[in-house]
């Protein structure tokens, strides 16, 4: 069992003791999604896979917020925002733009990339280093900008 899953299970016990319904419900949903992914995979998830799942859950909640705002359902917006706050407690601290830029420059140098066509090589090096602290979309934008400046 991954360290993150153990942390989630401990947080669930704490939420049950304290009576925090939103926290308890959210953590149960996360653990349920983890169990489903483990069954689909046929084995336990490592922490990186669990982090990816948490990011997916946050993204899902953000989409829910957008839909709820269109439907003028402030109750659903508030519930989804509360769930996002709980999920984000278990995610690593996001990288600042400067930190991401430094990591991207390092990966570009390591890959020997010169043009935007080399972006795949750079991303292959960069993504494992990010470990969920920045989205792939943000990382690719930064790498693309840096490579376009070099040409």
Q: Which helix (H) or strand (E) holds 62?
A: helix 47-70
- Model confidence pLDDT, tens digit, residues 32-83: 999 998 898 888 878 778 888 888 888 899 999 999 898 899 899 899 999 9
Instruction: Indicate if 97-150 has the same CATH topology as 3-88.
Output: no
Position 11 scores a pLDDT of 92
Position 121 scores a pLDDT of 83
Locate the domains of the chain by residue range: 3-88, 97-150
Q: Is the pLDDT of residue 1 over 70?
A: no
Position 32 scores a pLDDT of 93
Which of 63, 83, 70, 69 has its CA nearest to residue 21?
83
Domain 3-88 has CATH 1.10.1510.10: yes
- Model confidence pLDDT, tens digit, residues 12-29: 999 999 988 999 999 999
Which of 104, 65, 68 has its CA nearest to residue 82?
65
Q: Is the pLDDT of residue 101 over 90?
A: no
- Model confidence pLDDT, tens digit, residues 104-149: 888 888 888 788 788 888 888 888 888 777 777 888 888 888 888 7
CATH of domain 97-150: 1.10.10.410
Q: What is the spatial distance between Cα 34 and Cα 39, in angstroms, rounded to a whole number? A: 9
């Amino acid at each position: 069992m991954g360290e993150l899953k153990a942390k989630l299970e401990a947080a669930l016990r704490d939420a049950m003791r304290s009576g925090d319904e939103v926290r308890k419900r959210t953590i149960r949903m996360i653990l349920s999604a983890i169990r489903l992914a483990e069954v689909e995979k046929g084995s336990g998830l490592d922490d990186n896979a669990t982090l990816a799942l948490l990011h997916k859950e946050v993204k899902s909640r953000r989409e829910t917020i957008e839909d709820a705002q269109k439907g003028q359902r402030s109750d659903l917006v508030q519930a989804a925002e509360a769930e996002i706050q709980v999920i984000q407690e278990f995610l690593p601290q996001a990288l600042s733009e400067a930190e991401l830029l430094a990591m991207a420059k390092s990966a570009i140098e390591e890959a020997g990339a010169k043009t935007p066509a080399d972006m795949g090589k750079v991303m292959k090096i960069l993504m494992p280093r990010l470990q969920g602290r920045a989205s792939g979309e943000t990382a690719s934008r930064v790498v693309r900008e840096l490579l376009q400046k070099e040409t």
